[in-house]
Structure 1
Amino acid sequence: MSTFRSVFATAVVLLLWRVEEIAEACSCAPVHPQQAFCSADVVIRAKVVSGKEVNSGNDIYGNPIKRTQYEIKQIKMFKGPDKDIESVLTAPSSSVCGVTLDYSDKKEYLIAGKAEGAGTMHVTLCDFIVPWETLSVTQKKSLIQRYEMGCGCKITRCISLPCTISTPEECLWTDWLMEKTVSGDQAKHYSCIKRSDGSCSWYRGMAPPKTDFLDVEDP
């Protein structure tokens, strides 16, 4: 009986370790939309047309690697190669960081991810992928130029006080601290932009950044 309990306990420990390992593999720190734009190879607006499971070679043990392939219709490319993106690849389930895209009604998304071959990109749960309709007007306009102007700045997420910056090139992102959400006012309406003196600060609006700056300590 004691042997059975020992084996059972070991199995439980191994199972919990495996669950924790999978969870950790998909652990993603929230990022401001500007950060997502700057770190991505490809940023597009696209309509998802269809999806299917495909084989993407074999692993080191000879087992087939399954991925989900979504066929898309690119509407606009904000960042990326000259060739249009025609398909998006992702892992087959969320447990391994796969992304599920709705193609039942040809829904439009903003998709940011990594380039993978001609006409193809790869995405994970850690990438910035949201329905196009959920973006604010400022976010949509910032994709054209504003985010790119701030790629030389660093956005530091603040989740508890005290929050400080270490260089003038940083902006404090305080949406979670102030609003308990990562889709708050700064994410929806602000970009972190370089000033003429090389420092960075939050800016709201689409006109050339002259006055509407927030001090780096402000939410």
Structure 2
Amino acid sequence: MTWTVNGCLVALAILFAWRVEDFAEACSCSPAHPQQAFCSSDVVIRAKVIAMNKVDVGNDVYGNPVKQVKYDVKLIKMFKGPVMDIEAIYTAPISALCGVTLDIEGQMEYLITGKLESDGNVHVTLCDFIEPWDAMSPIQKKSLPERYHMGCDCKIVRCETLPCALHADNECLWTDWVLENYISGPQAQHFACIQRRDGSCAWYRGAAQPKKDFLDIEEP
């Protein structure tokens, strides 16, 4: 087969387009309510990001070095996780691989959820709930960890299109996306789905801890 220069350029363009598409599709996840993120994560911390650098974490199956971004953090408070002082978190080097970009210039404080991997390091992705601490609502902060923990046996069901309905007593319907066209709506910012004494679940809003026998949504 004879290739012209233009033919080679076209072939390279197609190959590049395939690679870009692969990367674009590599990071895909459904938005999670902050309570879901808390319950499904191994580690939930409040921390200040103080430095960043790229590190080698081993080789891939072809022997090529694998790099990750390492964020050095100053742990302020641990809401969930192992009995250890977490000094760093790791993420992929690009967003196409779900890598997270955090601010290091202002030493910003974040609420960070992540996974504790077999290597003993905390890894985070774009699918985790990572939010500047000052951007969180007062009720979100108060819900860490007791209130969210009380609802870990509940299931939060995201409503994507109307009509939507619940199918079990232990479910709470999350309607921020369909009603507000915004994931971080009122239910994400101000409500927790908590299990009641009879085993059913319901949304709860309030500054005080919910009563064990509350029957429905409570206001502050």
Partner secondary structure for residue 187 of structure 1: helix
The one-character-per-residue Cα deviations of 1:77-128 (angstroms, maximum 9, x if unpaired) are 0000010211001111112111111111211000000113687311011111
Match of 1:213 in 2: 216
Identity %: 57
Give the gaps of 5 or more residues in structure 2.
Answer: none
Give yes or no for contact 1:146–1:191 (8 Å, CA) kept in 2: yes
Match of 1:137 in 2: 138
Match for 2:19: what amino acid? Answer: R
Q: Distance in 2 between matches of 1:9 and 1:162?
A: 47
The one-character-per-residue Cα deviations of 1:47-78 (angstroms, maximum 9, x if unpaired) are 11111010001111110000111111000000
* Alpha-carbon shift at residue 7 of structure 1 (Å): 6.0
Match of 2:175 in 1: 174
Give the gaps of 5 or more residues in structure 1.
Answer: none
1:25 aligns with 2:26: yes
Partner secondary structure for residue 139 of structure 1: helix
Match of 1:65 in 2: 66
Partner secondary structure for residue 50 of structure 1: strand
Q: 1:17 to 1:119 in 2, by over 3 A?
A: closer
User: After the TM superposition, which of the residue ranges 8-17 and 31-40 deviates more from structure 2?
Assistant: 8-17
TM-score, normalised on structure 1?
0.90
The one-character-per-residue Cα deviations of 1:180-203 (angstroms, maximum 9, x if unpaired) are 100000000000111111111111
Give yes or no for contact 2:204–2:210 (8 Å, CA) kept in 1: no
User: After the TM superposition, which of the residue ranges 18-27 and 89-98 deviates more from structure 2?
Assistant: 18-27
1:73-152 counterparts in 2 under 5 A?
73-116=74-117, 120-152=121-153
Match of 1:195 in 2: 196
Partner secondary structure for residue 183 of structure 2: coil
TM-score, normalised on structure 2?
0.90
1:165 aligns with 2:166: yes
Partner secondary structure for residue 67 of structure 2: strand
Match for 2:109: what amino acid? Answer: E
User: After the TM superposition, which of the residue ranges 7-16 and 111-120 deviates more from structure 2?
Assistant: 7-16
Give yes or no for contact 1:195–1:201 (8 Å, CA) kept in 2: yes
Match of 1:15 in 2: 16
Question: Over aligned residues, Cα RMSD in angstroms?
Answer: 2.2
Give yes or no for contact 1:41–1:79 (8 Å, CA) kept in 2: yes
Match for 2:135: what amino acid? Answer: T
Q: Distance in 2 between matches of 1:172 and 1:66?
A: 40
Give yes or no for contact 1:70–1:89 (8 Å, CA) kept in 2: yes
* Alpha-carbon shift at residue 18 of structure 1 (Å): 2.3
Q: Distance in 1 between matches of 2:20 and 2:164?
A: 33
